[in-house]
Chains A and B, each alone.
Chain A
């Protein structure tokens, strides 16, 4: 008679064999958090943790470079009252995705969604990795941007100001410009 545990062990051995070489990289873990002492979870809060002002996000150039996907841009506004409640409003590009945004460094946030952003006409065909969108402040001036960090669209790294330029999300000179209307890709 076959021992069930032995059978399971045999099959698990094939499903995920032992590692011949270790890919352990603690430095990489720390890089993903960057200055962990400053980290703080921002579940359900505004993308950049702004607490006193109205937040507006413009999903403008989503995925244009990396995927070539067609994306409808949208203007996304959030009232101060909603912000005070610590809620992402129903019009956010991350709306309905249960975002958890963690500040990993000054001007750098990492947002994990439970599903890819699909609201407000945002549509991505193929991988979200490398997809980008810019963010604007309450005056609709471009003040940063986010880049997709996973194929399935659930992980985004967002940067404020010059950091967004340094990470090739925004072109130099775009910062501070007024986003008159959403771009369409």
Chain B
């Protein structure tokens, strides 16, 4: 039996208020700039509200909303992740300790990037990430392992050359 629509709306609001900054961080990592990231989060939640009748409670509400926000962010961007950051971005930080890694993370296959963002920014467990990405739990594990291996390989390569 589906949840009452008003109750679901309240749950969505609670989730939004509790985890907005996490949603924003993931969206920002996907779209590359803060302004569009905010738009993506707002649009993602708006889509979730509009489509809440279709939520059948087959998985956690959080995973369902994460999927809406990730999809909104994916639609919002057609630019590479790192290049989207601009000098005008007030949050630009000093050069990274491992400058070789950022372009690597950005150039990973989309699924690996998204899995990393959802794992480390949102602190989602593998099961939830699997539901967001609509893959098997084992695929999430393999995807993150592959991403780690790619980073490790790149670091080793840099250390050897350094």
Which residues of A approach B to under 8 Å, CB–CB? 2, 4-5, 7-19, 22-26, 28-30, 32-33, 36-37, 39-41, 102, 104, 110, 112, 114, 150, 152, 154-155
A29 to B16, CA, bound (A): 10
Interchain CB contact under 8 A, B82 and A23:
no
How distant is the Cα of A152 from the Cα of B39 in the complex, in angstroms?
Answer: 13
- Residue on B with the closest CB to A155? B43
Query: How far is the CB of B9 from the nearest CB of chain A, in Å?
Result: 7
Across the two chains, which residue of chain B brings its CB closest to A9? B120
Contacts of B85 in A (CB 8 A): 15
Bound together, the chains give a CA A24 to CA B22 distance in angstroms of 11
Q: Are B78 and A152 in contact (CB under 8 A)?
A: yes
* A28 proximity list for chain B (CB < 8 A): 42
Residues of chain B whose beta carbon lies under 8 Å from any beta carbon of chain A = 5, 9, 13, 16-17, 20-21, 24-26, 28-29, 37-39, 42-43, 45-47, 49-54, 75-76, 78, 81-82, 85, 91, 93, 96-98, 101-102, 105-106, 116-117, 120-121, 147-148, 151-152, 155
Partner of A22, one of B21, B45, B101, B120: B21
Contact (Cβ within 8 A) B102 A14 = yes
Which of A14, A26, A114 is the one whose CB lies under 8 Å from B75? A114
Chain B residues with CB under 8 Å of A37's CB are: 5
Q: Which residues of A contact B155 (CB under 8 A)?
A: 2, 4, 7
Q: With A17-B91, A26-B16, A36-B9 given, is the CB distance from A12 to B29 under 8 Å?
A: yes
In the assembly, what is the distance between CA of A30 and CA of B106, in Å?
A: 33
**CB atoms of B50 and A11 under 8 A apart:** no
